[in-house]
Structure 1
Amino acid sequence: MIFKHVAESHSISKAAEKLGYVQSNISQRIKILEAELGVRLLNRNNRGVTITNEGATLLDYANQILLLMEEAKIELNPEKWPEQLTIGATQTVSALRVPRILSSFLNVHEQVEVKVKTDTARLLLEQMIYGEIDGAFISEPFDQDGLKTVYTIVEKVSLISSTSCPVEKQPEQTLLVNSDPHCIYRQKLIHLAKKNSQKNARIIEFDSLEAILQSVSDGLGISLVPSDVAKLSRYEHEYTISELPETVQINFVIKNRQQQPKGLKRFIKFLSEETYSK
């Protein structure tokens, strides 16, 4: 387990922090393992560690062993060890899209215990590397070794403003955006403002989608959200909605490995069959 954390985080210090050990303990345990196997598993450098070919082979076996142990517990005592599925999602995606998908999934696979974690795309990708989540719905482009996209959803987006203060009556539009600088909806809104000669538009950041929606309703400014969210019946009298020709691509991303947890395999198969209501 120690080797797995070091190899996947490419850092002895990060692995030590994650496991609650001192760095010297981690280093010593790795050296003992290398001596026992008679091969070098990691290359040390100023930027951390990189895994050797022998280390990659060991990591693959370690992942397979851990997954087999989990499957054995499920088979032997499913009441005590039910199938687990932990899904991550960025805040905007988790507002509507993910609940719909999971509701349909659980109608078919009610034996699977599902957890959902909401965070920024960067932190979700990090959690996936550490094995804290099985997969994540990411609406931003990502460049991370060891991960792959297994399913993609194309989502329409809409510009929203208050019915009492529509866009055309806001010569100096205030942009209401997520505080995450990598949020794709934030980036698209700022790009749209610049395209429309609003290069110095005022920007107000929020930590939640609900706060953005309420602020738009109160006439504080405009925002860009998934069309499905903007068109929810509870908002239909609060917003002026302008659907854009642009779209956002939502990817379901997982770790690229030979064996996947049983709950995750069921979920990927479910997505590929498109049995849920879009």
Structure 2
Amino acid sequence: MIESPSPLDLAALDIFRTVAAEGSVTRAAERLGRVQSNVTTRVQQLEADLGTPLFLREGRRMALTPEGQVLLGYADQLLALAEEARQAVRPGPPGGRLRLGSMESTAASRLPVPLARLHGQWPGVALELSTAPTRELVERLRAHALDAVLVAWPPGQAPDPVFETRPVFTEELLLVLPAGHPAVAGPEEVQPGALAVFEPGCTYRRIGQDWFAPRPQPMQVLELGSYHAILACVAAGSCAGIVPRSVLAMTPHAALLRHQPIIRIDTLLTWRKGYRSSALDALQQALSAD
């Protein structure tokens, strides 16, 4: 008679994932509030159940094996689904973890007020906020590494049918130029030869590059890591930029820049079709309260 494999233990998967994140049994035990021997035993039991080593032991450092890397992706999904199931059947007020991803511009200019409102009304919701370009956020949402994201889909591109979406903000994107630059009727009249943008995967970068596409002399691309850096580069006269009006309104140095609108685009709250939680419902209420 063939023995059936042991079922995967969610608690063991959580311990495994924490050790992988910390790279150390000692730090994982501290984070989990467990003794080190318990963490070591649970990892060893998981390896025995699966019949393969999950970590390479390098002194006190724990590095994932290729099999461990594969399991980590499944562990993230299984633990996320378990949390989703708990929230779906849990009665009572909104609570539990909500992993929200956002474009940096949205997090900086749009989220402080609604997230403060969410925390004040529902302190039991444990919000985890992270920022990244739209493409990365969507990939993390698809992989169950995030529960919901605030993103801008490129004009003319419909959201993937595996997602549900809801418009929550409308952004006016501005072409930002040095203060002394004359008004422009089209991309060929822009004097700087470089465009300051975020990394690939940013929808606003794509919109900017598409706007400059008819220009006879292509724009060089200068990748920067923040809107502060982009606006400083523009103010210095060496480049142009594409910036939401809501972000420009936050800078005390707007007078050092010339700007003009190029497009309006919605920011969409996006989540996996079928995903439901009281925490997500509470977030939607907080975002639509104004």
Shorter chain as denominator, the TM-score bin is: 0.5 to 0.7
SS in 1 for 2:219: coil
SS in 2 for 1:88: strand
What is the one-letter code of the residue matched to 2:270? V
Q: Tell me which residue corresponds to 2:283.
A: 267
Q: CA deviation at 1:101?
A: 3.0
Q: Show CA shifts across 1:108-159 (max 9, x none).
A: 3344222211112232223223333220001124654532113343211111
TM-score (norm 2): 0.62
Q: Is the 8 Å Cα contact of residues 176 and 241 (structure 2) preserved in structure 1?
A: yes
Q: Is the 8 Å Cα contact of residues 193 and 201 (structure 1) preserved in structure 2?
A: yes
Select the residue among 264, 267, 271 that pairs with 1:254. Answer: 271
Q: Tell me which residue corresponds to 1:149.
A: 165
Q: Tell me which residue corresponds to 1:69.
A: 86
Check if 1:194 corresponds to 2:213: yes
Q: CA deviation at 1:3?
A: 11
In structure 2, list runs of 5 or more residues that go unmatched: 1-6, 11-19, 22-42, 53-76
1:123/1:174 CA distance change after superposition, 3 Å: closer
What is the one-letter code of the residue matched to 2:252? R
What is the one-letter code of the residue matched to 1:232? M
Q: CA deviation at 1:184?
A: 2.0
Q: CA deviation at 1:254?
A: 0.7
1:199/1:132 CA distance change after superposition, 3 Å: same
Q: Tell me which residue corresponds to 1:123.
A: 136
- In 1, distance between residues paired with 2:240 and 2:142? 36
Q: CA deviation at 1:228?
A: 1.4
1:26/1:198 CA distance change after superposition, 3 Å: farther
Query: How many percent of aligned residue pairs carry the same amino acid?
Result: 17
Q: CA deviation at 1:85?
A: 2.2
Q: Tell me which residue corresponds to 2:193.
A: 173
Select the residue among 177, 185, 189 that pairs with 2:204. Answer: 185
1:191/1:69 CA distance change after superposition, 3 Å: closer
Q: Tell me which residue corresponds to 1:93.
A: 106
1:29-48 equivalent positions in 2, closer than 5 A: none
Q: Tell me which residue corresponds to 2:121.
A: 108
In structure 1, list runs of 5 or more residues that go unmatched: 5-16, 28-58
Count of residues in correspondence between the two structures: 220
SS in 2 for 1:86: strand
Q: Is the 8 Å Cα contact of residues 104 and 133 (structure 2) preserved in structure 1?
A: yes
